Amino acid sequence: MLNYVLALGVGIFAGFFLPSGFMSKPKSLIFNVSLLGLLFFMGVNLGRDADLLSKISSFVVISILMSISVIIFSIIAVLILIKIFGEKQP
C-alpha cells in the first residue's frame, strides 16, 4: 500500500512545481481511460465468482444501509461540532 501513497505524494510534488493546467487534456484522457479500465476489471473480478447472483442482493442491502448510516452520522457529527465551535448568534 506504500506504493499508492508514494504515487500520490510524487504526483502532488510534480503538480506543485509544474505550471497550472500543465498537459490537462492528455492527463484527463489517461485518467478516464485508466479509471474505466480499472472499473471494468473490477467487474471481471466480480464475474469470476460463481456465487455472484446470490450475493448481489446482499451487496445492494449493505450499500443502502452504509450510505444512509454515513449520511445520518456525518450530519449529526457536524451539528455537534457547529454547536460547540460554531459562530455564536448575536
Partner 1 sequence: MMIFAMLLAVFLGTVMSFSHILSAPLIEACLQITDISLIILLFLIGFDIGNNRESLKTLLKADRYALIIPVGTIIGTIFGGYLVSIITDLTANEGMAIASGFGWHSLSAVLLTEMKGSDIGAIAFLSNVFRESITILSIPFLSKLVGPYAAIAPGGATTMDVTLPIIEKYCGKRAAIIGFINGVILSTLVPIIIPLYA
Angle at 21 between CA 11 and CA 15, to 5 degrees: 20
CB atoms within 10 A of CB 16: 7
Residue 25 contacts partner 1 per CB under 8 A: no
Nearer to partner 1, 44 or 90 (CB): 44
Longest dimension (CA), the chain: 63
Sign of the Cα torsion 23, 25, 29, 34 reads: positive
Residue 21 contacts partner 1 per CB under 8 A: yes
Site for partner 1, residues 44 to 73, rule: CB under 8 A:
44-49, 52, 55, 58-60, 62-73
Contact 62, 68 (CB under 8 A): no
Name which position in 25, 57, 85, 90 contacts partner 1 (CB under 8 A): 85
Q: Which residues here bind partner 1, judged by CB under 8 A?
A: 1-5, 7-18, 20-22, 27, 30-32, 34-49, 52, 55, 58-60, 62-82, 85-87
